[in-house]
Homo-oligomer: A and B are copies of this chain.
C-alpha cells in the first residue's frame, strides 16, 4: 500500500492539461504497489492510473518499461498502455518525480489462488514472452545470479536475527547456484515479478497483467520458475502439483518449452526462491520504523528454496 508523494492541486491541473484526456473528475491514492505512488485518475475521457516513480526505480529504466508496455499492448497483450501528452511524450515529471499516465485495466487480482488461476497465468506468461520477443530494447536483470552475492553480503551480518544459521545456509546455496546456473537458455523480455497481485482476472480468465517495473531481458524459463514459486505453494507451505502442472502445460501450449528448459527448471526455481528471499531479507532488516509498507516474511522463501533443493526433475512439478 503506497502513496509516498502527494500531488498539489495546481501541479495536477497543469500536468493533466498536457494531455488530451479532459478535466479531472476524481483523484485517489491507491493502496497497492510497493515501489511507486499510484493514483486512480478519472477524467472526462475515462479512468487512468497515474504513477509517480519513487527512488527505488531508476529513471534510466523508465523508457524500457513504458516502451515495453506500449509494445506489448500493440501486439494485443492486455496490459496498461502509456498515454502520451499532446507532444507525443509519455514520460513526464510531476511533484519532483518522473511520472506517467497509463490506461486503467479492469479485473481483480485473486486473493485465494485456485487451479484455474494457475492455468490462466501460465498461458498469459507465454503470451507475454511471445509478444515481447521482438521488443528491441534490452535491460539486464540486476536481480539475477550476479546480483545475489552483494545482497547476501549486505544482509549476512544480521541474518541470524531472522533465523540462526541463515547466512551460512544461503551462502552454501549461492555457491551451488553459481557453479550450476543454467546458461544459454532461450531468452527475451521477462516480467520477473508476476505475483498474483499483478495479474487481473475476470470470470476466471486473465484480463490483464500490470507492474512491469522489474521487467528485463533474461531466460524465459526463469520467469516460469518465478511463477511456480509465486502461484503454486499453499498458505501452509505445501507445493500444489496440480497447480504447477496446469501452469506449465498451459504455458507450454502457447510457447513450447524445450527439454533443456524443462531440465533447468528446478535450478531456476531455487535461484528464484533465493532472489525473493534475499530482497525480502534485506527489506526486513532495513525497513524504517513506522514505514508504510509492512515487509514480507523472508522465511516463506527459505521454505520454497528447500523444496526445490529436493526436486530431481520436473516430475515433481506434475509433468512427465
Contacts and interface: CB of A to CB of B under 8 A. Distances in A.
Interface stretch (A107-115, A211-219, A226-234, A260-268): A107-115
Residue in A10, A110, A287, A292 with the greatest tally of chain B CB atoms within 10 Å: A292
A99 to B, nearest CB: 16
A172 B49 CA distance: 50
A8 B294 contact: no
B104 A10 contact: no
A111 B95 CA distance: 13
A290 B284 CA distance: 12
Contacts of A32: 28-29
A107 B31 CA distance: 19
Nearest to A294: B290
A292 B106 contact: no
Contacts of A7: 111
How many copies altogether? Answer: 2
A24 B290 contact: no
A9 B112 contact: yes
A25 B287 CA distance: 34
B8 A112 contact: yes
Contacts of A179: none
Interface string A290-309: 11101000000000000000
Most chain B C-beta atoms within 10 Å of own C-beta, residue among A3, A8, A9, A107: A9
Contact of A111 (B1, B8, B104): B8
Given A1-B2, A28-B32, A30-B31, 14 more contacts: A1-B1, A1-B29, A2-B31, A3-B31, A6-B111, A8-B111, A8-B112, A10-B112, A28-B40, A29-B30, A30-B40, A289-B289, A290-B290, A290-B291
Interface of A: 1-3, 6-10, 12, 24-32, 40, 42, 47, 104, 106-108, 110-112, 202, 287, 289-292, 294
